[in-house]
Amino acid sequence: MNKFFVLFLVYWTPISTDDLLIDCSLIIKPIIHPRECCDFPLIWINDTTNARCMKECSNIKSNNEYKTENDYENDKCCFMRCLYSLQRILYKDYNDNIVRIDTNMLKTNFRKDQINRLSNEWMEIVAKSVDTCIDMYPPAYSRGHCLPIYFLNTMVCAYRENFLNCPIYGNDLERCKQLRQSVKYCRENTEVTIKDWDKFFF
């Protein structure tokens, strides 16, 4: 989960913003990784949760023999479900035999989990990002071991919002400014899918 991918999908819409040309059309290597510009916190991911969820999802993969082309998505989805399970925000609806998400508990547990990890400034930024992104997507559910892309939607969305609202940017201000303008414009004006942002922010 801590490995970063270097592809960024954008759609061709050349515009000038503060003398910066924004290209939202090509799959290219980003000029700089967002975490090099802003060291935004990784929500709910630490050494303990990372090790536990990686182990759990590796076991599921070995037992079920996923097809090669689906390995990445299956692993990521399993990892997201594991992280959310550790936050006690999943519950089983026995009437429909599906797993649902308690979004109110998600917000509450997020604040409890982060309160001792973040500065007051970051706490406000990240809390706002989480609230915004949870409200942006409808509650998800699943009949299998792997929940829908909802988990990834909310987490990647939160990372994106954290980056855009970062209080301090890196030393390479020219490239960071250009990256921030591109992310902001492409988020608001193009149909960038969550999988595209996933490759960019993870």
Q: Each residue of 57-70: pLDDT tens digit? A: 776 554 555 444 45
Which of 2-11, 105-114, 186-195 reaches the highest mean pLDDT?
105-114
**Does residue 89 have a pLDDT over 60?**
yes
Instruction: State whether residue 68 is helix, strand or coil.
Output: helix
**Full DSSP string of 22-91:** E--S-EE--SS-HHHH-----TT--HHHHHHHHHHHHHHHHHHT--GGGHHHHHHHHHHHHHHHHTT-EE
Instruction: State whether residue 65 is helix, strand or coil.
Output: coil
pTM for the complete prediction? Answer: 0.68
